[in-house]
Amino acid sequence: MRIEQGGRTLGSGRRFQSRRRGMTPAQDQPTTWNTPMYGRYLEDHHSIRCTAPNPMQNGVIFGTMRRALILLLVGLMTTLAAGDTIFLKNGDQLTGQVTLEQDGKLSLKHGVLGPLQLDSSLIQGGELSLDLSDGSELSGTLVGYQNGAWLIKPEKKAVVDLEVGPDGGLSRKVDPVEAQSQMDLKAERDRAKSVAKEMKTAAEQRIKAAKKIVSDADEVLKNVWSGNFSIGGSMSRGTSTASNLSLNIGLKRDVGHSVTDIKAFYLLNTSDSKTTQNWFQASIDQTWNLPKTKGVWSLFGQGVFDWQQDASWEQRVNGNLGFQYQLVDAKRAPGTDWFEKMKIRTRVGPGFRKEFAGDNPDWAFEVLLGGTWDITFLKGVTYSGNAQIYPDITELGEFRVTSNSNFMVALDSMDGVSVGVGIKFQYQTEVSPGDEDFLLVVSGQVQYAF
């Protein structure tokens, strides 16, 4: 490159060293330039004429411009890629943030052109991603504007009609028929809920009724009389012939607050065809639980009839009325104690006694002091009975004692069948001459519960 001033040469290209940011003269020249050469004047403001351009300098300029153009295109493409795209009927394409508005208007924020507002009549289509008022997102192709709604076609789905609300929010337009169907569906659901609630209430009432039926059935079952029958006997023959027979029967009715217990037994002993014992006894025992005591306190009434062939009094009745107190009501888990269940009740009550023959046929007043018990040692192994003493109020110092008890073992192989021993005892301080003052009977027996 040669630089001239007024027809004389100021320097030539051979004396310059090329640098990235400018040209600097060689060290042996008197004049030095530090100013870049591209598009600039020399400091002495003389005209410069390039007589022989350097091809390498042109390459540097063109390379810089090419890089700037590439960066500009990349930035423009990035701007165009971000946002929604609108295709106009005149063939133009606009990209930016699209907002659908009422009356077929559309707003678009363009990165270069700024905010634009377009009418639906100018729009051919578009690709949009929209946020709806219900929080969902809808993406698809803008089909157009019709009947007050923007038409959006999601991929592989039916066209969706979008309405613009007063607040600018987008919502799916509901067809009147579909809206009525939805209302009918909602009404049906509400009706179904109401019916379900009514059915639930009815079911609960039926359950309550069923529970009451079961409870009443249990009560009826409790009201049914239960009972037992036992028989025992023996026969021996040798130096003398002896035989004995014992029969026992019992009936019981338990309704929770009231218990009725009826018992009877018969004993017959013979020796060498001579009757040595012929005894019949029947008794009734009734208890009523007192209110608010949970069965701890009860009122009881008792009546007993005795007939003995060989006794001087022959027939005797006694009755008592008084109070009963449940002294023990205990349960134990199997194997943890010597018993599983135990109930012991004490009794006290005044009453009377009447003998129809013998030396004491007058009415006698006496007091019952005694109790009853039911003990379960193991499953099916029980011991139950009663014992009482009757002090005579008319003649102080006189009394009598009675006791009846049974020890039974249930047979697993035969339902309702038990075997055991029955013990009966009587003692009386005042008897007629020739009468025994006590009686003890121990008999084996087989019992069947029904």
Looking at the chain, the number of H-run helices and the number of E-run strands are: 2, 25
Selection from 207-216, 366-375, 423-432 with the highest mean pLDDT: 366-375
Give the closest residue to 367 by CA, choosing from 404, 344, 396: 396
pLDDT at 311: 86
Give the closest residue to 230 by CA, choosing from 5, 3, 445: 445
Residue 85, class by beta-carbon neighbours within 10 Å (0-12 exposed, 13-18 middle, 19+ buried)? middle
The one-character DSSP state at 7 is T
Distance CA 150, CA 159 (A): 10
Distance CA 108, CA 115 (A): 6
Q: Are 390 and 399 in contact (CB under 8 A)?
A: yes
Residue 248, class by beta-carbon neighbours within 10 Å (0-12 exposed, 13-18 middle, 19+ buried)? buried
Q: What's the 3-state SS for 336-397?
A: CCCCCEEEEEEEEEEEEEEECCCCCCCCEEEEEEEEEEEEEEECCEEEEEEEEEEEECCCCC
* Alpha helix segments (H runs only) across 3-160: 55-81
Please state whether beta strands 297-308 and 315-331 pair in parallel, antiparallel, or not at all (unpaired). Answer: antiparallel
pLDDT at 282: 97
Q: Which residue has the higher pLDDT, 241 or 136?
A: 136
Q: How many CB atoms lie within 10 A of CB 205?
A: 10
pLDDT at 10: 43
Q: Are 107 and 96 in contact (CB under 8 A)?
A: no
Banded model confidence at residue 153, pLDDT cuts 50, 70, 90: very high
| Complete DSSP assignment for 293-307 | TTTSEEEEEEEEEEE
Q: Which amino acid is at 71?
A: L
Asked whether the CA dihedral 346, 351, 357, 361 is positive or negative, the reply is positive
Give the closest residue to 320 by CA, choosing from 303, 306, 307, 305: 303
Contacts of 311 (CB under 8 A, 6+ apart): 358, 435
Q: Are 72 and 62 in contact (CB under 8 A)?
A: no
Distance CA 302, CA 262 (A): 10
pLDDT at 178: 60
Distance CA 265, CA 244 (A): 13
Residue position matching structure tokens 């018990």:
373
Q: How many CB atoms lie within 10 A of CB 40?
A: 11
**Tens-digit pLDDT profile for residues 257-294:** 899 999 999 999 888 888 888 999 999 999 999 999 98
Q: Are 310 and 278 in contact (CB under 8 A)?
A: yes
pLDDT at 43: 41
Q: Which two tokens stand for residue 401?
A: 């004692």
Give the closest residue to 365 by CA, choosing from 319, 314, 427: 319
Strands (DSSP E) along 179-257, which ranges?
A: 226-237, 241-254
Contacts of 121 (CB under 8 A, 6+ apart): 104
Tell me if residue 233 falls in helix, strand or coil.
strand
Does pTM surpass 0.75? Answer: no
Q: Which two tokens stand for residue 132?
A: 């709806």
Give the closest residue to 347 by CA, choosing from 317, 326, 375, 318: 326
Q: Which amino acid is at 102?
A: Q
Tell me if residue 37 falls in helix, strand or coil.
coil
pLDDT at 275: 87
Banded model confidence at residue 172, pLDDT cuts 50, 70, 90: confident
Residue 279, class by beta-carbon neighbours within 10 Å (0-12 exposed, 13-18 middle, 19+ buried)? buried
| pLDDT higher than threshold 90 for residue 252 | yes
**Tens-digit pLDDT profile for residues 29-83:** 444 434 444 344 334 444 444 444 454 455 556 566 666 666 555 555 544 445 7
The one-character DSSP state at 265 is E
Percent of the chain past pLDDT 70, that is, above it, reads 77
| Complete DSSP assignment for 142-185 | EEEEETTEEEEE-TTS--EEEEE-TTS-EEEPPPHHHHHHHHHH
